[in-house]
Amino acid sequence: MEKHPHALRLCAFICITFSSLIHLVEAQDQKGFISLDCGLSPNEPPFDDSKTGLTYSTDDGFVQTGKTGRIQKELEASYRKIYWTLRYFPEGTRNCYTLNVTEGTSYLITALFVYGNYDGLNKYPRFDLHLGPNFWETIDMSIWTNGTFEEIIHKTTSKYPNDVTDRDWTPYFNGTQWTEVTSLNVKISSNDYNLPQSVMASASTPKSAFAPWNFSWSIFPSTTQFYIYMHFAEIQTLQANETREFSVSVNGKFAYERYSPTKLSMETIFLSKPQQCEEGKCIVELLRTSNSTLPPLMNAFEIYTVIEFPQLETNQDDVLAIKSIQNTYDLKRINWQGDPCVPKEFLWDGLNCDKSETSMPPIVTFLNLSSSKLTGNIAPAIRNLTHLQELDLSNNNLTGGVPEFLADIKSLLVINLSGNNLNGSIPQALLQKKGLNLITHDGNPDLTCAGKPCVNKTLGSKKKNVVVLVVVSVVFVVVLGSALACFCVFKKKNTSNSQGPSSYTEVSDPRTTGSSEPAIITKNRRFTYSEVITMTNNFERVLGKGGFGMVYHGAVNGTEQVAVKLLSHSSSQGYKEFKAEVELLLRVHHKNLVALVGYCDEGENLALIYEYMANGDLREHMSGKRGGSILNWETRLKIVVESAQGLEYLHNGCKPPMVHRDVKTTNILLNEHFQAKLADFGLSRSFPIEGETHVSTVVAGTPGYLDPEYYRTNWLNEKSDVYSFGIVLLEIITNQPVINQSREKPHIAEWVGLMLTKGDIKTIVDPKLYGDYDSGSVWRAVELAMSCLNPSSARRPTMSQVVIELNECLAYENSRGGTSQNMNSQSSIEMSMNFDIGVTPDAR
């Protein structure tokens, strides 16, 4: 995409959405039709278009975002007035026009696009068009420099003076092969297709009475399906000895074998099933029969290509509830446009949705309006989010009581009301709701639980079956940390049972007495469970949740922020995994790896305490879920360089070397300075270095990131991490999901490999970068990623080589001086562009 992907004119945005109620009516009455001049000032009156006679008005009120512009003055004479003004969208990833429609009704939508160098940059924009949650078309203005338009018939939006359904009929005549037949001032009776009289009053026939009438066209891609509708009426007066009869075929298949048009009466022939053309070459042919004395005749025809819209829109009850909540609190969020849940990459901030049932509409399961400056009472519309599991209204200025209807939402498991000014008594039904975690303290001083301050209730022990404190944050963050020491030493020393920050402590698991599992030996601080409760303020603030358990925010000595990972009793991971992660973290010390602040090993209470990482994980920033702008190319490169350094240290700096086994973007965490650190070593293992680099082990890791060689053989080596890191590189280049079943090739490695065989790098690079990168730097990163994904692990680079290559990519980007450079990349690593995309792992 160009750097300025501005959307031009109506529908030149990411999506169109619908509510209800508009009707199709007769052409002579414009009621029920919407004709918008995008960018026309709301202070300007509506005007009539000189060509169509349609009345155009401002688009103000149909769209919430965007800026208005005007094509260059010297170009205005070349265009009708409706093209002079425009609306462009420099902010946000999705900008939507919302139109009211009647459910179940078919509408014709026409969108017009002209660039007109409105910004003086002479850079033609390229952007995507969506209808609701589904992709419609890509608009590339560099192809259509004089403007273009898109039309679609959608059942659930529409006028030209002569057509009641707003179709724009274009005359076409092949003068070398056809003869035009016209009939003036003749009334032709219509059928359900309602063609204008002026269209049906003319026709074409072959110049030679014995020649067939044919029309051919090309369609792309060749697999595209289409419907064709052919409209006939006999408009000539035939003599008694004259007959017109012909066969009608489409791509060699008969639609009608012996057809005679009816005098002054419109009839339509069509094939009820969608058609395809061999190699994209299509033909309609009318062939005179032996009984006919006159050649075939064609009045008009329509061709409609089929666009699949597989994505269901969000459950309508949930949509209405969310929009009611938005109106109640007057929420102004730029991405709260279009469908709340889909497409996934445009999910509204503060929402999570369940789309697991592909045959059912997505449902809203998580609503986070924390710190959104909400005032007034808790919105009644929340009761209509019947599938809601987690609700966070913390840190606002809400007043009034806690509504009892919250207890009626059966799926609701977590409610966070802390940091407001709520009052009164919490309803008994809510306090007694089974499985509910309710957070009300830290604020709300006038709120009581059964007549007592709620803070007293929530500070009870596990044995009190009343209310448990849990806080769920806006985003899922598994927060880990790292230290700066650069050594890797594993010491074992038997000492006394003294427990202090400077003493070695032998830790045994009381549940495994007599077990062969050795105890943890460490000199990092061992915390008691009561200290963990204190540092987390009784587990007040949740940072995230993983397979191990919940992760809470905490502070050691009231100053040092930490993340506390508490082992859940229902977790599939047990003491063995806990012990493995502790021992590993005690061995590795690097600025780009997590560091263990301490741990708790007290009976059934197991916890790991890490440095707090304020900016979450890389995936969140790539997707935009953390808010703010999308990471630029330079920042992405810095992050992967630092991540590669951490991984290189595991492979070469530790004795014995370590394999991470779960390298992915969600395990790359960022601190307050956006320094990257590798996290989550629960799956890591050592491998020998004395003449053998492989260790047989059980396959572990994340689907999509798994080395196909490792996947097939269960043989583990450091090159398995290199493969996973190659997938991470492709993610930061493309900003595409690792697995996407809607792509031609679902796995990201397969898809990029396919694009490279076509020489198409523009479709690979994240369009949200808007072309703001050094092309040589990107090409080099792509080549590096593909070398990391070589099916043969022996031919992949080492992480040391990866670090060198990435630093060179960063150097090229830093030296470009703000303009994109082209260069022939001469990499020091063997690059194979004939990447075998057939050996990448399937999603499972």
pLDDT recorded at residue 513: 32
Across the range 186-200, mean pLDDT stands at 84
Mean pLDDT, the chain, integer: 77
Domain co-membership, 648 together with 794: yes
Q: Residue 722: count other Cβ atoms within 10 Å of its Cβ.
A: 25
Residues 400 and 420 in one domain: yes
For residues 163-175, give the mean pLDDT. Answer: 76
- In this structure, are 384 and 509 located in the same domain? no
One domain for residues 682 and 745: yes
Q: What is the CATH number of the domain that holds 512?
A: 3.30.200.20
Residue 463: inside a domain, yes or no?
A: no
- Whether residues 44 and 113 share a domain: the answer is yes
pLDDT at 444 exceeding the cut of 90: no
Average pLDDT of the residues in 20-38: 52
Q: Which two tokens stand for residue 219?
A: 């369609």
The share of the chain scoring above pLDDT 90, in percent, equals: 31
CATH for 210: 2.60.120
Write down which residue in 254, 283, 305 finishes a domain.
305
DSSP H stretches of helix in 194-258: 197-200
Does 251 or 460 have the greater pLDDT score?
251
Tokens of 472: 């769920």
Q: What is the mean pLDDT of residues 275-304?
A: 92
Confidence (pLDDT) at 299: 93
Q: Are residues 666 and 717 in the same domain?
A: yes
CA 36/CA 726 separation, integer angstroms: 47
Residues 747 and 679 in one domain: yes
Give this prediction's pTM: 0.41
Q: Please indicate whether residue 785 or residue 175 has the higher confidence score (pLDDT).
A: 785
If phi > 0 it is left, if psi is from -120 to 50 it is alpha, else beta; for residue 399 that is beta
Domain assignment present for residue 471? The answer is no
Q: Is 818 domain-assigned?
A: yes
**Active-site option among 392, 509, 601, 662:** 662
Instruction: Give the model confidence (pLDDT) of 602-633 as tens digits.
Output: 888 888 888 888 888 899 888 877 776 789 99
Confidence of residue 531 (pLDDT cuts 50, 70, 90): very high
Judge if 732 and 830 occupy the same domain: yes
Of the given ranges (251-260, 264-273, 540-549, 803-812), which has the lowest mean pLDDT? Answer: 540-549
CATH of the domain at 333: 3.80.10.10
Encoded amino acid at 671, one letter: N
Among residues 244, 272, 305, the one where a domain terminates is 305
Number of CB atoms found within 10 A of residue 139's CB:
24
pLDDT greater at residue 756 or residue 581: 756
pLDDT of residue 501: 30
Lowest mean pLDDT among 409-413, 476-480, 649-653, 701-705: 476-480
- What distance separates the 2 farthest-apart alpha carbons in the chain? 120
Which region among 72-86, 251-265, 563-577, 689-703 has the lowest average model confidence (pLDDT)?
689-703
pLDDT tens figures, 308-321:
777 788 988 999 99
404 and 381, same structural domain? yes
- Range(s) of the domain holding residue 361: 316-458
Kind and range of the H or E element at 439? strand 437-439
DSSP class of 747: B
What is the Cα–Cα distance from 395 to 392, expressed in whole angstroms? 9
Question: Looking at per-residue confidence, does 514 or 363 come out higher?
Answer: 363
User: What is the per-residue pLDDT for 643?
Assistant: 95
- Give the pLDDT confidence of 265-283 residue by residue, as tens digits: 999 998 888 899 988 899 9
Q: Tens digits of per-residue pLDDT, 468-515?
A: 323 333 333 333 333 323 333 333 333 333 333 322 233 333 333 333
> Per the domain annotation, does 621 fall within a domain?
no
* Average pLDDT for 771-790: 91
Crossing angle between the packed helical segments 775-788 and 633-652, to the nearest 10 degrees: 30
Task: Tell me what the mean pLDDT of segment 235-245 comes to.
Answer: 93
Calculate the CA dihedral of residues 154, 156, 157, 160 and round it to 10 degrees.
Answer: 80
- Residue 446 domain-assigned (yes or no): yes
Q: What is the mean pLDDT of residues 818-840?
A: 34
Residue 634 pLDDT > 60, yes or no? yes
pLDDT for 570 equals: 56
Is 160 part of a structural domain of the chain?
no
Confidence of residue 220 (pLDDT cuts 50, 70, 90): confident
Residues 449 and 568 in one domain: no
Residue 687 has pLDDT above 80, yes or no: no
- Let me know whether 261 and 334 are in one domain: no
Same domain, 670 and 528: no
- CB count in 10 Å sphere of residue 659: 25
Number of domains in the chain: 5
Q: Which residue has the higher pLDDT, 480 or 122?
A: 122
pLDDT at 653 over 90: no
Q: Does 801 score more than 80 pLDDT?
A: yes
565 among the known binding-site residues?
Answer: yes
- Confidence band, pLDDT 50/70/90 cuts, at residue 522: very low
Does residue 662 carry a catalytic annotation?
A: yes
**Segment 403-441, tens digit of pLDDT:** 999 999 988 988 999 889 999 999 988 888 887 888 776
